[in-house]
Structure 1
Amino acid sequence: MGSPDGYLLSDSDPENRPQDAESNASRLRLSGQVARRNEKGVARLYWDDLLPGFGLRVYATGTKRWIVQLRQRGVSRRITLGGPAHLNAGDARRAARGLLAKNALDGVPQRPARPLRSEPKFTDYIEEFWRDYARHWKRSTQQRNRTAIEKTLKPWFGRYRLASINRAHILEWKDSLHERQGVFNRALPVLAVMLGYAEGLGHRAKGSNPCRGIPRYKRQLPERYLTAKEYRRLAQALADREADWPDAVAAIRLLIYTGARRSEITSLHWEWIEPPYAHLPDSKTGPRRLYLNRQALAVLEARKRPEAGQGPILATRSGRVRALEHGWPILRRMAAIPDVRLHDLRHSFASVGIMDGISLARVGKLLGHVLPETTARYAHLADAAIADAAERVSGSIAAALGLRP
């Protein structure tokens, strides 16, 4: 049975309470560390020593659930908030405190809640939201978010009234996408924006956005860096097919030399070029300057510049460089690097810079990162470079001391 807040009611009937858990009850400060304990074989109950009624149930199977126990009109009820995998200790404590506070005010006269302006279904709200909000996104963001709405959000939430969507629905949806974690991570921010905007329109109560505090899946992002031998094989493949796909080859070379995003290269215009920079009026992170080293400038100088000195540098169709989409899979097979994506050229650019001793901050500027934490994914490369330098220094000192390095 569900509670009005979207949580699950459990143990309202004493027969449903596992007695072994009750007999193994203890009181301590509940935290993430307690929730991560590996406990199996014995059912337990942990009650928080700071917030009465807030607890953690551990089943004999090792499964754990945050719970809150309260008395409603003389009947003791135990409400399941969720598992530690989807609800951290802080969020569980806040949810428990909210339910306990609400229960304490049960029966006390309250100011009537402001009625919602309307109660549309999620499906009906999509077009209203899109008409108002989508114009503030870039074209690529519009395409990505529309796909998330139509293929991920609408099939799951379309049956619900907009005002009824709660945290339990979000967690259930998250569980359904356990095998497609990237899909959930991309769609969650879109849903959060949609429900937040619905509050402003009066379709939901103010401050009721259930996406708040829902963690994304932690994923191991793919890391693929080209070696020196792989760079040489790719250079040969590009030279062999340059006559067939001149625009695609030029685009790939610019990606290699600049570390730029694919969209930043495929949209380049002649009027933006002021060596040693390309002044991009727009990018994923807004306007920025793209540094053009002499190798990148050489690629541009080999192109035929129109007399007017304006227009796109690479021939494109619908924003895509001709032959790049089907040419890259062939080129990487020719170079014996079938697992390398075009975006991996950007990662490899960063890798080479860091291994050559360039700081993370400067690499971030070259890549056009706005936030330092975006560049932090390459921190382990910087650590490896420092460790290698330490080995070389210690080797030189050992040689000077007449010791075997």
Structure 2
Amino acid sequence: MKVAKLTKREIAKLKPAEKPYVAWCGVLPGFGLSVRPSGVMSFIAQYDFGGRAGSTRRATIGRFGDWTADEARLEAEDILRAAKRGVDHVEAKARRKAELTVAQLCDEYLEHGCEHKKPSTVAMDKGRINRHIKPHKIARMKISDVRDVHVERLLKDIASGKTAVKREGGKGYIATGGKGTATRTVRMLGGIFSYAVKCKYLKQNPRSGVELYPDKKGERFLSPNEIQRLGETLREAETDGLPWQPKDGPNAKHTPKKAATAREVVSPYAVGAIRLLMLTGCRLREILNLRWSQVDLEQGLLDLSDSKTGAKKVLIGAAAIKVLEDLKSKRLEGNPHVIPGEAKGKPRSDLKRPWKRITEHAGLNVDSEGNPKPLRLHDLRHSFASMGVASNLGLSIVGKLLGHASPTTTQRYAHIGESAERRALNEIENKIAAAAGMIDTAKVVDLKRGAA
């Protein structure tokens, strides 16, 4: 599109669209403002260089806000004037950027290359950069000098603990390293180098060809027997209560006189949250941050506006609806969250203590050989997926239930896909709910509401 002249007033009229677009200045040809769906606006200068096909260059000047329209116009005039003299601003910038050190590239990536990531993911990236990459000698290398052998050396040094960071006073570690950390850090660094390639600072990614360690995150998949034990413990936790455990050791100030026989009832909100994690395959924050305004019991849907992979709708079946109906009957006035916390109007922050007590009582914190292996809340999501795959429901259907599939590739088949997803959801949910004793298998029927 074209505007009469790129000014602050004209820019204020521009709105983000579903796809990126450029508003071109009608006064200075080649000067424009790139508008992204996220709302980020950047001034650009576009010119032809070399007079042949594919010779169009687009130079980014800077973001609106950091640059005024007048400042950006002056810069664009310089770039366009230089192009007529045979100076390629984009290539010159790429040469200068190739002289960045790895540490400087990481800083630029955190500032300009993470717009698609959530703040929690950016914080994790920043931690890996500060703890494992910047202290390493690769951080001082110019990015144009980095080869796969240097990346491989970083991988091995993190794995062996050479980048481990001790706490002040030398007691314990902030970061220990190891093969898992090495794999995830180098994979992230590969993404940073991909950013450099995209920006034309580099011609190829030096991480390519580096073989990473298997990224074993310790996933657990609950067996039907384990799901049954978990279900029984959840019922016991919310009714009779679990054997009392001191928060601060056996000599705690408020230890009951008959501690050996005392029992403590677990919050119905904590129990309900765990059941929803079991029955939906959702991530922890998706359930803890869930608001009643996002719950549609009639259609059997959760409308998640801010999940890890963006906005999505989660199908829920009869057993999950029953859990939500029970929670709704206990809804705290003035709190919009399904799983309310202690602070007024806020959601519950975590499930660490009740989850630890429940899994210990159910005997779920050991592996198949009897070795200690704590069951994580996220393993409920893995168990949901494994139950679906084991039922031959297809990876694509299970992936859609978990929010893994790209919506753009399946949108045209949405009216067919939801029916298939609904059948898959019912089959997975029914198996989990029956094993956990949440429902009577003889009374389970497919949820028809909302299905195509």
User: Which position in structure 1 is the counterpart of 2:33?
Assistant: none
Q: Given the superposition, is the C-alpha separation of residues 246 and 307 from structure 1 closer, same or farther in structure 2, using an over 3 Å criterion?
A: closer
User: Which position in structure 2 is the counterpart of 1:207?
Assistant: 203
Aligned to 2:287, what secondary structure does the other structure show? helix
Q: Deviations over 1:186-236 (max 9, x none)?
A: 22232123234445667x4x3043123333333456453223332232123
Is this contact kept in 2: 1:195–1:209, CA < 8 A? Answer: yes
Are 1:311 and 2:336 an aligned pair?
Answer: yes
Residue number among 360, 364, 368 corresponding to 1:333 in the alignment: 360
Alpha-carbon distance in 2 for matches of 1:219, 1:131: 27
- Relative to structure 2, which stretch is displaced further, 215-224 or 284-293? 215-224
User: Which position in structure 1 is the counterpart of 2:280?
Assistant: 258
Q: Given the superposition, is the C-alpha separation of residues 357 and 189 from structure 1 closer, same or farther in structure 2, using an over 3 Å criterion?
A: closer
Are 1:277 and 2:296 an aligned pair?
Answer: no
5 Å-filtered alignment, 1:85-100, equals none
The one-letter code of the counterpart of 1:161 is K
5 Å-filtered alignment, 1:20-169, equals 116-117=95-96, 119-156=99-136, 157-169=138-150
- Relative to structure 2, which stretch is displaced further, 345-354 or 141-150? 345-354
Measured after TM superposition, the shift of residue 333 of structure 1 is 0.5
User: Which position in structure 2 is the counterpart of 1:12?
Assistant: none
Alpha-carbon distance in 2 for matches of 1:252, 1:239: 12
Aligned to 1:235, what secondary structure does the other structure show? helix
The one-letter code of the counterpart of 1:313 is V
Aligned to 2:302, what secondary structure does the other structure show? strand
Q: Given the superposition, is the C-alpha separation of residues 306 and 241 from structure 1 closer, same or farther in structure 2, using an over 3 Å criterion?
A: closer
User: Which position in structure 1 is the counterpart of 2:185?
Assistant: 187
The one-letter code of the counterpart of 1:185 is T
Measured after TM superposition, the shift of residue 336 of structure 1 is 0.4
User: Which position in structure 1 is the counterpart of 2:326?
Assistant: 302
Is this contact kept in 2: 1:266–1:316, CA < 8 A? Answer: no
Is this contact kept in 1: 2:288–2:350, CA < 8 A? Answer: no
Aligned to 2:134, what secondary structure does the other structure show? helix
Is this contact kept in 1: 2:148–2:209, CA < 8 A? Answer: no
Structure 2 stretches lacking a partner, 5+ long? 1-90, 161-177, 239-264, 366-372, 407-452
Alpha-carbon distance in 1 for matches of 2:311, 2:325: 24
TM-score (norm. length: structure 1): 0.55
Is this contact kept in 2: 1:281–1:288, CA < 8 A? Answer: yes
5 Å-filtered alignment, 1:365-380, equals 365-370=400-405
Is this contact kept in 2: 1:245–1:323, CA < 8 A? Answer: no
Are 1:233 and 2:229 an aligned pair?
Answer: yes
Q: Given the superposition, is the C-alpha separation of residues 236 and 223 from structure 1 closer, same or farther in structure 2, using an over 3 Å criterion?
A: same
The one-letter code of the counterpart of 2:210 is I
Aligned to 1:116, what secondary structure does the other structure show? helix
Percent of pairs with identical residues: 31
Aligned to 1:282, what secondary structure does the other structure show? strand
Q: Given the superposition, is the C-alpha separation of residues 120 and 350 from structure 1 closer, same or farther in structure 2, using an over 3 Å criterion?
A: closer
Is this contact kept in 1: 2:100–2:142, CA < 8 A? Answer: yes
Q: Given the superposition, is the C-alpha separation of residues 334 and 137 from structure 1 closer, same or farther in structure 2, using an over 3 Å criterion?
A: same
Alpha-carbon distance in 2 for matches of 1:302, 1:359: 32
Q: Given the superposition, is the C-alpha separation of residues 257 and 133 from structure 1 closer, same or farther in structure 2, using an over 3 Å criterion?
A: same
Q: Given the superposition, is the C-alpha separation of residues 292 and 153 from structure 1 closer, same or farther in structure 2, using an over 3 Å criterion?
A: same
User: Which position in structure 1 is the counterpart of 2:154?
Assistant: 173
Alpha-carbon distance in 2 for matches of 1:136, 1:150: 21
5 Å-filtered alignment, 1:354-369, equals 354-369=389-404
Aligned to 2:220, what secondary structure does the other structure show? coil
Is this contact kept in 1: 2:305–2:312, CA < 8 A? Answer: yes
Q: How many residues align?
A: 257
Q: Given the superposition, is the C-alpha separation of residues 353 and 200 from structure 1 closer, same or farther in structure 2, using an over 3 Å criterion?
A: closer
Are 1:350 and 2:331 an aligned pair?
Answer: no
User: Which position in structure 2 is the counterpart of 1:95?
Assistant: none
Measured after TM superposition, the shift of residue 168 of structure 1 is 1.9
User: Which position in structure 2 is the counterpart of 1:290?
Assistant: 314
Q: Given the superposition, is the C-alpha separation of residues 174 and 331 from structure 1 closer, same or farther in structure 2, using an over 3 Å criterion?
A: same
Measured after TM superposition, the shift of residue 281 of structure 1 is 1.7
